[in-house]
Amino acid sequence: MALPTVGVLGGGQLGQMLVQAAYPLGVKVNILDAGHSPAKQVSYHSDHIDGSFKDPEAIKRLAAISDVVTVEIEHVDTHILEHIADQTDVQPSWTTIRKIQDKYAQKEHLHAHGVATAQSIPLSNPSVEAVEQASKTLGLPLMLKSRREAYDGRGNFPVRTVEDFQPALDALGKNKDLYAEKWADFRMELAVMVVKTKNEVLSFPTTETIHENSICKLTYTPARGVSDATSEKAQDLARRAVACFEGKGVFGVEMFLLKDETLLINEIAPRPHNSGHYTIEACPASQYDAHLNAILDLPLAAEALRLCEPAIMLNILGGDSPDSHLQFAAEARKHLRGRGRVHLYGKGQARKGRKMGHVTVTAPSMYEAETLMQPLIDYVDETAS
Ligand code: ATP
Ligand code: MG
Ligand code: MG
């Protein structure tokens, strides 16, 4: 009896952690990405495909040797996925990836299904006049966003005054499809990892996410200073949001918690997510285990997604020097002395702000976890210029 083979578009850190979860299951994972990509570094066999996960021919070759094709990034060619879906199972569905990869279309879809998001206006012909028009409806500040190819805030520009209209268009590219989003005056940002299986929609606990310069810096699970009722509401909203998309797998749902306790969806990722890394150490099944169980129709109990211990995750970002992330990792290991896990992804070149690894600590109480993690946060803040 053989388990199906999984093909993955993309071999970054999410693909790497997916491979690590697949090994104990005895599931073979074929990665399509560059030869030295992080996911391939932890998996040696001859069926990986070297090349771009945007290359249609390479995707077809991957499909031919895989029973299920999945993604670790949503910026993929969904027309090729639609084509290969005739011969291979694609999870989550290419229709879902197509809708989600256009952040405005994603919001329209959620809105049509009665799921609350920040009010958004598409700018089909981006110009100062179009931004001005949008600002009359949405007010200022507003967030100007790229509809596609956005990550780590790179497709966002906060527009605070009329003076920002032109710089925002210059920064995001006038020829790109943009949309304007109402400013969310949030108290906190929350994230929930949701698992869509063959016949159920399950959720991991509610996580507090802290972003700096639009990049996720820290996650705290359970979210601090959030009532049980709000935490339940966040999980319910996240499950409802994912339920209106087709297909199976894990989804990262990012939310704004406004000052009046209203919850709005910020965006959904159709894949494992940075805000779910903590699940590796803190839950019986990690988000990577859950993704594999969901796409392969393996049994998954709701209790497998519970939090065993409070957890904090700190991202290790590239700094000013090419090895500052390695210096930080050494510092973290010295401080933690085994009481937390340092993950390095094996990415070659560190660029400033590039995700190079992360640290997770768990402890019997959030206070103990905070006490253990705080010196590392201080170190990051002191060494950042
Ligand atoms: P990711 O790396 O999560 O895919 P992204 O590039 O798709 O990020 P968003 O999630 O849209 O970008 O935004 C990044 C961050 O910018 C948010 O987590 C939030 O801190 C801030 N932000 C985004 N939209 C708004 C908004 N409408 N109002 C206020 N802040 C916002
Ligand atoms: Mg995004
Ligand atoms: Mg985001």
Q: For 116-170, what is each residue's pLDDT tens digit?
A: 999 999 998 889 999 999 999 999 999 999 999 988 888 999 999 999 999 999 9
Return the ligand 1 atom nearest residue 154 CA: 6
DSSP state string for 11-29: -SHHHHHHHHHHHHHT--E
**pLDDT(248) > 80:** yes
Residue position matching structure tokens 């009665």? 114
Q: For 276-306, what is each residue's pLDDT tens digit?
A: 999 999 999 999 999 999 999 999 999 999 9
DSSP state string for 61-98: HHHHT-SEEEES-S-S-HHHHHHHTTTSEESS-HHHHH
Tokens, residue 257:
């918690």
CB 159 within 8 A of CB 135: yes
> What is the predicted pLDDT for the residue at 174?
66
Q: For 328-363, what is each residue's pLDDT tens digit?
A: 999 999 999 999 999 999 998 899 999 999 999 999
Q: What does residue 117 show for φ and ψ, rounded to 5 degrees?
A: -135, 170
How much of the chain, in percent, has pLDDT values that exceed 70?
99
> What is the predicted pLDDT for the residue at 338?
98
* pLDDT band at residue 384 using 50, 70 and 90 as cut-offs: confident
pTM of the model: 0.97
> What is the predicted pLDDT for the residue at 131?
96
Return the ligand 1 atom nearest residue 153 CA: 6
Query: What's the CA-to-centroid distance between 1 and ligand 1, angstroms?
Result: 45
**pLDDT(216) > 90:** yes
Identify the residue with better confidence: 206 or 176.
206
Q: Is 93 exposed, middle or buried (0-12, 13-18, 19+ CB in 10 A)?
A: buried
**pLDDT averaged over the chain?**
96
- To test the pocket of ligand 1, the residue of 142, 214, 259, 274 to mutate (highest count of ligand atoms within 8 Å of its CB) is 214
Pocket residues: Cβ below 6 A from ligand 1: 118, 143, 150-156, 181, 183-184, 189, 211, 214, 254, 266-267
| Ligand index nearest the alpha carbon of residue 100 | 2
Strands 89-90 and 156-159: unpaired
Measuring from atom 4 of ligand 1, which residue has the nearest CA?
151
